[in-house]
A = this chain, B = another copy of it.
């Protein structure tokens, strides 16, 4: 065993979460998967949960199953709230995709106060967030202010302070940057926005399940996020949407449907928005994809977010240490505490490097124009995996001459 291999083995032996790796489908062959920021690994319990819904509930259930499914959005929402978001029961629902949820909430905020027409975001926010927000703003005679962000280090909050004036209805940012991994301080951003009378809408896609979020403790206004990255819910699983309780009756989203109606099954009359979080729903959620949210949440709950975060910081710190000699340029905040669960590097030939690494058993994500995003998901990744990945990356860089 090499010195590094021995070091990694010691770290794994001391890891209080090591046993939870068995709760995930084994990575095939000797592959190392560092792409949990795109799609989290498959929990072993998921196949059984989905198959039960298909055969027992759908196939054998006849009348009964449908009743069970009618509250799927709130049931799964409450579970996400409790395990990953630190939100109160009744403040989170699951349904639709992240972009549709973002549209609903941004539109609701602009519609609530005709005196404020601007939305503020940053130009390193996930592009689809920028598209949605620009579209919502334009449609409502408003504007999207896109602050320039250091793509490696995150947004300078002084720029945010300058940008948020009394025409701003909403500040919408990704708590963890999809590219650099830069992590905002929730309270600091909210203080700036709230001081100017604006609300904050967080995209938690790269944060939920990756860092403790504590929406209730932080008095967060609004949030949306993906369930298929750090919540392990599977490809395209429906997204979550959070609205603080006192905002439920202040905000109304524009895509009306029976799931948001005060009497879902009354099937008559005009639309009357439910007074609860349900008003942010529209139509039927995709049940097979929605039930798949359960299994990953159970593993996260067992680990606890604080322990998970501690391992994540240790894993990305270790990866950073091992990649130091390669000369890859760090394109993330240097301090692991200032980023989410991924670490990003810049390399001019990243687009070629990513498939070459995959051929050599290391799966990472490519980000335009020249980034490699490495996400060692703490529940499904060992320190030994990180050591193996670093060694293979060094080898590929040397042999390929890239």
For A228, the closest partner residue in chain B by CB is B284
B368 touching A267, Cβ below 8 Å: yes
For A42, the closest partner residue in chain B by CB is B59
| Chain B residues, Cβ within 8 Å of A369 | 268
Pick out which of these stretches binds chain B: A75-83, A129-137, A387-395. A129-137
Count of chain copies: 2
For A98, the closest partner residue in chain B by CB is B283
Instruction: State how many residues of chain A have any CB contact under 8 Å with chain B.
Output: 78
Pick out which of these stretches binds chain B: A211-219, A286-294, A322-330. A286-294
| Chain B residues, Cβ within 8 Å of A340 | none
- Contact pattern, A 240-262, Cβ under 8 Å of B = 1, otherwise 0: 00000000000000111111010
Interface set, chain A 274-314, CB cutoff 8 A to B: 282-290, 292
Interface set, chain A 70-129, CB cutoff 8 A to B: 72, 96-100, 103, 127-128
> Given contacts A58-B42, A256-B135, is CB(A282)–CB(B51) below 8 Å?
no
Is A210 an interface position by the 8 A CB rule?
A: no
Interface set, chain A 145-169, CB cutoff 8 A to B: none
Is A46 an interface position by the 8 A CB rule?
A: yes
Is A191 an interface position by the 8 A CB rule?
A: no
Pick out which of these stretches binds chain B: A3-11, A182-190, A230-238, A331-339. A230-238
A236 touching B96, Cβ below 8 Å: no
- A261: contacting residue among B131, B228, B367, CB under 8 A: B131
A103 to B283, CA, bound (A): 11
- Contact pattern, A 360-386, Cβ under 8 Å of B = 1, otherwise 0: 000100011100000000000000000
